[in-house]
Structures are given as C-alpha cells and as structure tokens.
Amino acid sequence: MKFRNIFWGVILIFVGVLFILQNLGMLHFDWLSLWRLWPVILVLWGVSIIPVNNWIKLILVLLILGASVTFMLNRTVYWESDRHNFELFSDEFFDDNFNDNFDEEDRRYSTQTFNIPYEDSSKFVELNLEAAAGKFIIDENGDDLINFKRKGNSAEYSYILKSMDSVAVIDIEMENASIVVGKNHKNVVNIALNDYPVWDIDLTAGAANVDFDLSKYKISRVDIEGGAAAIKLVVGDNYDETHLNLEAGASSIVIKIPEESGCKLSLESVFSGKKISGFEKTDHGQYRTSNFDEAVNKVYINAETAVSSFTIIRY
C-alpha cells in the first residue's frame, strides 16, 4: 500500500474525529486558532516526501498532529508586556468583548475625546491608527479635521500632527500597549472625519471589529492589517481612484462598492471562501468588473486572507 494513501487517510480520520468530539462536547478548543496552524500543511507535505521509512513518516505525522491539537486545546493566549500578563479569549470574541454596549453606571469604563481643528491648507490627510484590539468605527462627518472618541477600560491614546504645505499626517497610538482582553474588556473607538480633504487611512490592529463607512469621503487608500477580525468597508464614488489593501486571518471581510465604479481585485487566500458576484476572472487570483475600463471612478482591492470569508457587494 502506498504511504501517500495512508498519510492523507490518517490526517482525514484524525481531523474528522476531532470534529465529532467537539460536536459531542467531549472536547473544547478554539477552532479560530486553526488559521495560525496553516503552515503545518507544508510541514506534513514535507514529511510525506522525505526519503525515510514509511513508519518513521507516520510517527512524525502523529507527533506533528498531536502538537497542533495541544495548541488548539490551549484556548487562552497569553501576552506579556510591561510586567503584566494579558489574556485573549476568542469564544464569542466580537459579540461579547468588542461591542458598543456599556453600562453607564459601571465605573470601570472611562472615556477619552480629542479633536484636531481643520485647516484650509490641508488638502491631503494621512491617518495612521495603531491599536490593539477593539471596535473601530468611522461613520460621521465633522467640522474638525478629526474628532476622536474612545470608551472602555483600555489604555488611552495619544496623537501627533505633522503638517507640511497641503499635507497633514496624523499618528494615533496607544500610550501603553498593555491591554486586557476578556469578558470585562471594552474598547470602542468612534472617529468622525472632515469630508473636504483626500484621505489615506492605515489601521494596524490585533483582533478587531472594523466598521468603516467611508462613502461620504474622498478616499485614496485604506490599509488594514489585523489578526482575527470582522471588517466592514463601504466606499463611495467621491474620488477617481481608491486603493484598498487588507491582510487578515480567521476573519469575516465585507466590502461594499458602488455599481457605477469599476473594480479590480487581487485575492490571495488560504482555506477561505469568497462571494464576488459581478466580477469576471482574468487570471489566477485576479478579477475585474465588466465596466472597469469605462468607469470614471475605479477601486483597486488587494486582499490576503487565511481561513476567512471574503465578500464584495455592489450597491
């Protein structure tokens, strides 16, 4: 019997048994962590082709699978920073930990607000937001260049504004990267932007719930890099060329673009599903809408995902 048949047969049986035990409640582990283990496939593939005895290969496979299961059974990820230990629980992660429902009488949660006045000379603005985990919302216009509101029990944010000629750069960072993520953690950030300048937005986050309605603004570029994330982006047709770059794992990604806008998509995905109706495939991982050439406004999407769902809706 060929070892290749035994090799993949053992893996399929192993994974199937894990699913059965999980569904029966006999084992409890975080399937969300599975996306972190996708390189194991490369390791197993390498084991299958090395020129050693088949029994040695089988033992190596079982050891690797055992180590992977041990990782998933550890449902809590510990982060250590600034002499503190922090916990990240992924069960009901977004629903329970990063929503905007607060008990107004709970004094554990603090608020922070700041605004940056708008200057007529600011024609182009780059917003760089570095954050840990939480919910981040952009859905309002404002008279100021930016209005920032945070509520929760995470560390506060600080900002630096740099201006030169017609370009303004806003860097927003957490003053202390130490953050506790769990059942009692809240971190909700609401941002209102001025709709006059052209915006570049760069968000770097951990496990995050990103809800950016950018349909009212002139958007040149949006970069989002996150871990396990729920990402919703809505772009309008207020600028002639918009670039969206996303990188995430174990995520749900939904992007809305106007039907009148032409769109090109470059998608690299591992164990991910996609729903991109209205696009035609031009090459491996390359798609475009039929109206791309004649469209006045164009949207370019570059996405890298693993164990995720990816959806584009034309509205």
User: Which residue type occupies 146?
Assistant: I
| % of the chain at pLDDT higher than 70 | 66
Q: Does 30 have pLDDT greater than 60?
A: no
- Measured CA to CA, the distance from residue 98 to residue 115 in angstroms comes to 23
| pLDDT on residue 90 | 39
Q: Are 221 and 241 in contact (CB under 8 A)?
A: no
* CA neighbor of 29 nearest in space, from 58, 70, 85, 87: 70
pTM of the predicted protein model = 0.69
What pLDDT score was predicted for residue 4? 54
DSSP designation for 294: T
| Residue 170: strand, helix, or coil | strand
Q: Which residue has the higher pLDDT, 213 or 60?
A: 213
Please tell me the predicted confidence (pLDDT) of residue 93.
44
d(CA 135, CA 93): 11
Residue 262 near residue 292, CB atoms below 8 Å: yes
pLDDT of residue 253: 93
89: pLDDT confidence band, cut at 50, 70 and 90? Answer: very low
For residue 163, the tally of other CB atoms under 10 A from its CB is 14
List, for residues 230-256, the tens digit of each pLDDT value.
899 999 999 999 999 999 877 889 999
Mean pLDDT of 157-184: 80
- Examine the pLDDT at 202 and tell me if it is beyond 60: yes
Name the residue with higher pLDDT: 215 or 8.
Answer: 215
How large is the average pLDDT for residues 66-82? 51
Q: Does residue 128 contact residue 172 with C-beta atoms inside 8 Å?
A: yes
How far is it, in rounded angstroms, from Cα 208 to Cα 4?
A: 40
Q: Where are the domains of the chain?
A: 3-74
CB atoms within 10 A of CB 41: 12
Transcribe 200-268 into DSSP letters: EEEEE-SSEEEEEEETTSEEEEEEEE-SSEEEEEEE-SSSSEEEEEEEEES-EEEEEE-TTSEEEEEEE
What confidence tier does 308 reach under pLDDT thresholds 50, 70, 90?
A: confident
Look at residue 160 and tell me whether its pLDDT is greater than 80: yes
pLDDT at 2: 53
Whole-angstrom distance, CA of residue 306 vs CA of residue 19: 20
pLDDT at 11: 62
Percent of the chain with pLDDT over 90: 45
- Does pLDDT of 1 surpass 80? no
- pLDDT tens, residue by residue, 108-136: 678 999 999 999 999 999 999 987 778 99
Return the HEC string of 2-57. CHHHHHHHHHHHHHHHHHHHHHCCCCCCCHHHHHHHCHHHHHHHHHHHCCCCHHHH
Query: Residues 182-206: what's their mean pLDDT?
Result: 87
pLDDT at res. 84 = 36
- pLDDT recorded at residue 10: 64
Q: Which residues contact 218 (CB under 8 A, 6 or more apart)?
A: 195, 197, 198, 199, 238, 239
Q: 244: which 2 tokens?
A: 């969206």
Mean predicted lDDT score pLDDT of the chain: 79
